[in-house]
Amino acid sequence: MILCKQKFYFLFIFFVFTILHTFGQDPHFSQFYANPLYLNPAFAGTVNGARFSINFRDQWPAIPGNFVTFSGSYDQHIDAMHGGIGVLVSADVVGKNLLYTYNAGAIYNFRAQVAREFNLQFAVQAGYSQTTLDWNRLLFASQLKDIPVDIDTPEGFDVKKSQFDLAVGMVGYTPYLYFGLAVHHLLPLNRSLSQWTLGSLRLKWTAHIGGKITVKQKVKDEINFGDIFFYPNIVFISQGLKDTTRSHNKQNGTFHYLHEGFYFNFYPFTVGAWLRHNFNNLDAFIVTCGIEYKIFRIGYSYDFNLTKLEGTGGAHEVSLQFFIPYSPKDRSSRKKYQRIAPVDCPRF
């Protein structure tokens, strides 16, 4: 019985390590522009006023122990700082509250007006990440008896790991075109909770480009009921994971995802469609809908799974944005503020 107990214990620990390394990538959101700071820190301060964003994603709900991700952010433009500031927090929960990953970051963004209708923004984000395993929620074979037996964490295994993180980003935009590049994890993040295996996230590269096509607009520089806009977009994300064991075996993998899609805005309604895939296989087809009214925007999206993994339930995602508009009182400041208009990217 003792030998069986030890064997099960070893196999379970090995399984936990495997899960930690297998899912060693950042969670992603399908509503990119409804979570702008998560996509690229250079989006901080790209609105006239303050912006609050809340996002929730439930991935593969039909599978036990699925992935649930939360995100919240605040940002605003500050003219005296020649740019914007932002705060981004997120939480990723795996295995029915078994494994948590918390992230928090502060962003500073500098804006440079290159031409009358062309602006560049450069940002740096300093962050803090913590991964926690709720050991008390694990159930071992020896605990299935009538008398429970407490299992202590093994030597060389940490149930909590904290690290610092760093990211940079750039966004350029005109009234009709916007593009950007972001690089996350300039400080490598070791996601493993074991001293026996070492795993670190490589750089995460995000490149995006999109445009605004005005189909119908009643009043220039204003959006009114019935105005029609079309937004084509492309987002490319590349991230690698490096695993190294004590036996010097190395496993390196880089994952690429390309997202192509569009948003169609018949104010105040928005609908969109996206296709997510890598260079070899299709991953998901995404449909999005949303509505906005004055200072509120709310969106919903669903990911239809296109992989061979059946019965996942796809992915549900909900976003909510709240704005506090800002308009300078004096005429000269108002003209200056209007001249450096915000990024006119899609709402969802």
In terms of Cα–Cα distance, which of 198, 312, 314 is closest to 249? 198
The string of pLDDT tens digits covering residues 100-119 is 889 999 999 998 888 888 88
Q: What is the CA radius of gyration of the chain?
A: 23
Mean pLDDT, residues 321-334: 71
pLDDT of 288 reads 96
Beta-ladder partners of 109: 84, 123
**From the centroid of its chain, how far is CA 317?**
12
Q: Which residue has the higher pLDDT, 310 or 244?
A: 310
Residue 42 sits at φ, ψ, to 5 deg, of -70, -10
Question: Residue 147: pLDDT above 70?
Answer: no
User: In this structure, are residues 53 and 35 in contact, taking their beta carbons and an 8 Å threshold?
Assistant: yes
Domain 2-339 sits in CATH 3.30.70.20:
no
Question: Residue 274: pLDDT above 70?
Answer: yes
| Strand residue runs (E) in the chain | 49-59, 67-78, 83-94, 99-115, 118-133, 160-173, 177-184, 189-190, 197-211, 213-216, 228-245, 250-266, 269-277, 282-293, 296-305, 315-325
User: In this structure, are residues 261 and 286 in contact, taking their beta carbons and an 8 Å threshold?
Assistant: yes
Instruction: Compute the distance between CA of residue 170 and CA of residue 190 in angstroms, rounded to an integer.
Output: 26
Give me 265's structure tokens: 């805005």
Q: Say which residues have a Cβ less than 8 Å from residue 339's Cβ, sequence separation at least 6.
A: 113, 116
Where does the pLDDT of residue 276 fall: very low under 50, low under 70, confident under 90, or very high at 90 and above?
A: very high
Residue 5 three-state SS:
helix
Q: Which residue has the higher pLDDT, 340 or 174?
A: 174
Q: How far apart are the first and last CA of the chain?
A: 57
Residue 340 sits at φ, ψ, to 5 deg, of -105, 60
pTM: 0.83
The string of pLDDT tens digits covering residues 294-323 is 889 999 999 999 988 888 889 999 999 999
Q: What sections of the chain are H helices per DSSP?
A: 2-22, 36-39, 331-339
Which range among 284-298, 308-322, 325-339 shows the weakest confidence by mean pLDDT? 325-339
Q: Which DSSP string do the residues of 58-125 spell out, in sequence order?
A: EE-TTSTT-EEEEEEEEEEEEGGGTEEEEEEEEEEEETTTTEEEEEEEEEEEEEEEEETTEEEEEEEE
Instruction: Compute the distance between CA of residue 111 and CA of residue 170 in angstroms, rounded to an integer.
Output: 10
Where does the pLDDT of residue 243 fall: very low under 50, low under 70, confident under 90, or very high at 90 and above?
A: low
pLDDT of 71 reads 96
Residue 337 three-state SS:
helix
Mean pLDDT, residues 19-34: 73
